[in-house]
Structure 1
Amino acid sequence: MTAPFVSSGALAGVPHGFFGRRGGVSSGALVSLNCGLGSGDDPALIAENRRRVADAVLPGATLAGLYQVHGNRCVIIDHGSDPTARPEADALATRTPGILLGILTADCVPVLFADREAGVVGAAHAGWKGAIAGVTDATLAAMETIGARRADIVAAIGPCIGRASYEVDDGFVSRFLADDPANERFFAAGKPGHAMFDIAAYVAARLAAAGVARIAIGGQDTYAEAEDYFSYRRACHRAENSYGRQLSVIGLT
């Protein structure tokens, strides 16, 4: 059995998928397609869920992942890499067929990249810390080192927390305005001392500023769409002991 997923027209012809929480074997608060290795779920169930993801997109592929740390490091993966190593980083790139790059999220922004002409793909986990630190810029740079041309790279932004669900305080806003006053456009008015942050739009703007000409935004809100997606913030608000993670993947045939 495989699992349902969302794809992006921007990446048409490239094996990829943004998965949610449906189509897996986990139970309870983690039902059902929990792919998070650090979630406290039964490792056997996580392994089966991850197998279903891979089979749905690129059967027989090696699924490569990371120990994500909310930074801006991108690692290059090839057939000489150990797919179980999980290096500390927040993005991957490859030009090697048969490898599926995987990014875990639970409100943060998953970004998938492809240069079809060069045969290079990438994937990034952009939480707010990694986004402002330039994780997408690092992914583009890494892709270029293995043959991609920035003008030919397309990017798709997958399910993440939406602006209507992402309340932040004024201190958070100040960090972004100190980095660039133009970032004010990504915040809408909230209750006193707070604002609503459009992280997907911020990531898209970073990509555009870096020279990516085609950027697609899926528009799903992981916090609001509880039946379809895991959400760290929603789990916190509900005082749940754990939270699941969804997987976004891309590879080459």
Structure 2
Amino acid sequence: MSAIDPLRASALGDIPHGFLGRQGGVSTGAVAGLNVGIGSRDDPAAVAENRRRAVAAVLPGAALASVYQIHSADVVTVAGGIADDRRPRADALVTATPGVLLGILTADCVPVLLADAVAGVVGAAHVGWRGAIGGVTDATIAAMVALGASRNRIAAATGPCIGRTSYEVGDEFVARFAEADPETDRFFGAGRPGHAWFDIEAYVAARLAAAGIGRVEMMGLDTCRDEARFYSFRRATLRGEPDYGRQISLIGLSR
């Protein structure tokens, strides 16, 4: 395996951060690479080593804080690391404490990293379709503001996720979004009868912009199509594979 090479977003400037893929890890088999998924069937020792390597690649010496993700709009404010066996049930984290690295796991969902460099406040959100429509990004921004961030200073970046040409959904899915907001039809493209293609990354970016975030950067990387670089739940499901890995996205503040 190659060395870890975190993807960085120019919008986040010098804030320590990175969207990591599957390169640089010790896991083998179906989850070969940098699998950080505690819920996978991978060897726990391999997962722990991968998580250690991920932290070292982005902010050496930092304390990792992650959550037990449940596809909600719940956000936790943290001031230190969180032990893997004590992760709170939520889908986003915010902090103003230097030396803490916020981690979000994905395998097709949208990882969102946010920062107000002036206030010294950062956030990370795991955004699946339920969290997207439920407002997890809005809740994350509100939690950052509560720590002193300003909406007009917050920058955000959406990382590798399932792309529009890979995310086929049914008409009932489209109807659910249309009921919440009739203007969401622009995020869906016509597919085979009874189906459509959903651009979840563009939808999430639009939610961020609507919440007052002036700079939003989209990485535009499709996890489902790029097997060499990323894990993908949908790809594994379509192939009938017994397990799938998770990649991690990280952001923190230097001491």
- Give, as a single letter, the amino acid of the residue that structure 2 aligns with 1:77: V
| Aligned equivalent of 2:211 | 210
Aligned to 2:233: 232
Q: Is the 8 A contact 2:96 2:120 kept in 1?
A: yes
Say if 1:20 and 1:228, in contact at 8 Å, map to a contact too.
yes
Q: Could you state the TM-score of these two structures normalised by the residue count of structure 1?
A: 0.98
Question: Secondary structure of 1:149's match?
Answer: coil
Counterparts of 1:20 and 1:5 in 2: how far apart (Å)?
Answer: 8
Hey, what does 1:9 align to over in structure 2?
10
How far apart in 2 are the matches of 1:22 and 1:3?
A: 6
Partner of 2:97: helix, strand, or coil? coil
1:162 matched residue in structure 2: 163
Any runs of at least 4 consecutive aligned residues in structure 1 with deviations exceeding 3 A, and if so which? 81-84
Contact in 1 for aligned 2:67/2:89 (Cα 8 Å): yes
Offset from partner CA, 1:134-160 (integer Å, 9 cap, x none): 000000000011110111100000000
What is aligned with 2:154? 153
CA distance, structure 1, for counterparts of residue 7 and residue 165 of structure 2: 21
Cα distance in 1 for partners of 2:77, 2:243 equals: 31
One-letter code of the match for 1:12?
G
For these two proteins, the number of residue pairs brought into alignment is 252
* Superposition deviation, residue 3 in structure 1: 1.5
Q: Distance in 2 between matches of 1:12 and 1:54?
A: 18
Other structure's SS at 1:102 match: strand
| 1:83 shift after superposition | 3.8
1:1-253 equivalence runs, <5 A: 3-79=4-80, 82-84=82-84, 85-253=86-254
> RMSD across aligned C-alpha pairs, in angstroms?
1.0
User: Is 1:2–1:53's contact at 8 Å kept on the other side of the alignment?
Assistant: no
Give SS of 2:165's match: helix
Q: Which sections of structure 2, spanning at least 5 residues, go unmatched?
A: none
CA distance in 2, matches of 1:3, 1:63: 17
> 1:49 & 1:127 partners in 2: Cα distance?
23
Q: Please, what TM-score do these two structures have when normalized by structure 2?
A: 0.97
Q: Deviations over 1:56-96 (max 9, x none)?
A: 110000011100000000100103x6443210000000000
2: CA distance between counterparts of 1:108 and 1:122?
A: 16
TM-superposed deviation, 1:2: 5.6
Which residue identity is paired with 1:140?
Answer: I
CA distance in 2, matches of 1:54, 1:195: 38
Q: For 2:137 and 2:167, locate their aligned partners in 1 and report how far apart those are by CA, in whole Å.
A: 21
Distance 2:15 2:207 in 1: 23
Any conservation in 2 of the 1:2–1:56 contact (CA below 8 Å)?
Answer: no
2:15 counterpart SS class: coil
Structure 1 CA distance for aligned equivalents of residues 44 and 235 of structure 2 = 23
Task: Tell me by how many angstroms 1:5 deviates.
Answer: 1.6
Counterpart contact for 1:62–1:83, Cα < 8 Å: no
Would you say the 8 A contact 2:6–2:58 is kept in 1? no
